[in-house]
Structure 1
Amino acid sequence: MRSLTTIFATIIFFAFQQTASAQTDNATLNIRLYPIQTITVNATQKSVNLDYKTTADYATGVSSTQADHLTVYSTGAFVVKVKSAGTTLQGQRSTIDASDVVITPIAGTTNQLANVTYNARNLSNSDQPIITSTTGSVNKNFNITYKASGADKYVDKYFKTENPTVYTTVVTYTIEAN
C-alpha cells in the first residue's frame, strides 16, 4: 500500500509541478526621439558694425565677417533662416533699406558641418533660408558675412549733428527642422 501511496504522491507532485512552471510575458520598449534645434549667436558678436570711413568704403561698400558667428545643434535635418526686424534700418533722421545688406553664410572656422547648402540673401523682414543641412549637427559653427551697399548710395545719409550717424535693425536667426 505504501508503494501505491508513494506512486500516487509522486504523480500528484509532478502534476502540480507542471502547472506551477515558469511563465513569460513581454513589455515593449520604445526609444522616442523628439526634435531639438538650438541656435546661438556668439556672445562676443551680438553687435556688428559696418563702418564707412573712407571714400572707398562709400564707393565699394563695407563688409564684416564674423567667424563662428552661429552655433547650431539639431537632432536631424535643419534649415537656418534670417530676417530683420523691419524693411529698413532706422536712423534718427532717415532710413536705409534692409535689402541693401547681404547676409552670406559659410562653414565655420572651427567645428564645421559637412554637406551643407549655403545661400547668400538680402536682408528682409521675412525669413530667408541661408543654411540647409540634410543631417543633424552637434554644436557646429558657421561664419556670417554682413555686406552693405556701395556705389556711393549712402553719401547723403550722414548728418553732421550725429557723429557717427547710425542706422539700426535687429537681425534674427531661426532654426527649424527640415
Structure 2
Amino acid sequence: MKKFIITSIAILGVGTISAQNVTLNVRLKPIQTLVVNDGQKIVNLDYVTKDDYANGVSSNNVDHLKIFSTGGFQVKVKSATSALQSGSKNIQANTIRIIATAGSDAVNGAQYAQGVLLSANEANLVTSASGGVDKKISIEYKGAGSNTYIDNYIAGQDPTIYSTELTYTIISQ
C-alpha cells in the first residue's frame, strides 16, 4: 500500500511547468508647454525724455517665459504685424529688438539669441538639445534709439500708443 501511495504521489505530483512572456513598453510622447509670466503680459516701452528718443528704451522681463519640455526644443517669437499702427502712422516692428537670456532656473546648455529683430516671421530665440521642467527664460524688449520715433507722436494723444501682439511658440527638436 505504501508503494501505491508513493507511486501515486510521484505520478500526480509531477506537473508541467509553463512560462508566458509579456512585452512591457514605456511610451514617451513629446510634451512642450510655454507660459508667459502673468504679471508681464503687457510690456511698455515708454519714451519720456529726450535721452529716451536718442538712446532708445528697454524693458527687462526677468523670468518672462516658463517652459516644460520632454526633450530638445526651440522657442520662437513673431509679431502679429510687420508694423505697429496708431491711426495713420506706424513704426516698423523690426525697430524693436528682443534679447533672450537665462532666467533664474535656466535650461542647461541652452543657446540664447542676443538680438532678434521683431518680425511677422518667426525668429528663433532659444535652442536647447535637452528638456527641462519649469525652466525660466528672461526677455528684454529694446526699442530703437537715434530718434527713430521722433515723428511718430500724434498731437492730442498722451501717450500715442503703437502696439502689436507677440506670439511665443515652443516646438520639439
* Fold shared, TM-score > 0.5 on shorter chain: yes
Structure 1: how far apart are the matches of 2:96 and 2:87? Answer: 19
Q: Which has the higher helix share?
A: 1
CA RMSD of aligned residues (A): 1.5
Query: Could you say which residue in structure 1 is the equivalent of 2:13?
Result: 17
Structure 1: how far apart are the matches of 2:70 and 2:135? Answer: 12
Residue 10 of structure 1, CA deviation: 4.3
Q: Unpaired runs of 5+ in structure 2?
A: none
Alignment of 1:75 onto 2:70: yes
TM-superposition CA deviations, 1:4-44 (whole Å, max 9, x none): xx44x6445433432x3332211111111000000011000
TM-score (norm: length of structure 2): 0.93
Residue 82 of structure 1, CA deviation: 0.5
TM-score (norm: length of structure 1): 0.91
Query: Could you say which residue in structure 1 is the equivalent of 2:112?
Result: 118
Alignment length, in residue pairs? 172
Structure 2: how far apart are the matches of 1:106 and 1:126? Answer: 21
TM-superposition CA deviations, 1:107-135 (whole Å, max 9, x none): 11x21222110112101111111101111
Aligned with 1:45 (options 26, 40, 43): 40
Query: Could you say which residue in structure 1 is the equivalent of 2:88?
Result: 93
Alignment of 1:174 onto 2:169: yes
Q: Unpaired runs of 5+ in structure 1?
A: none
Residue 90 of structure 1, CA deviation: 1.6
Task: Report % sequence identity.
Answer: 41
Query: Could you say which residue in structure 1 is the equivalent of 2:26?
Result: 31
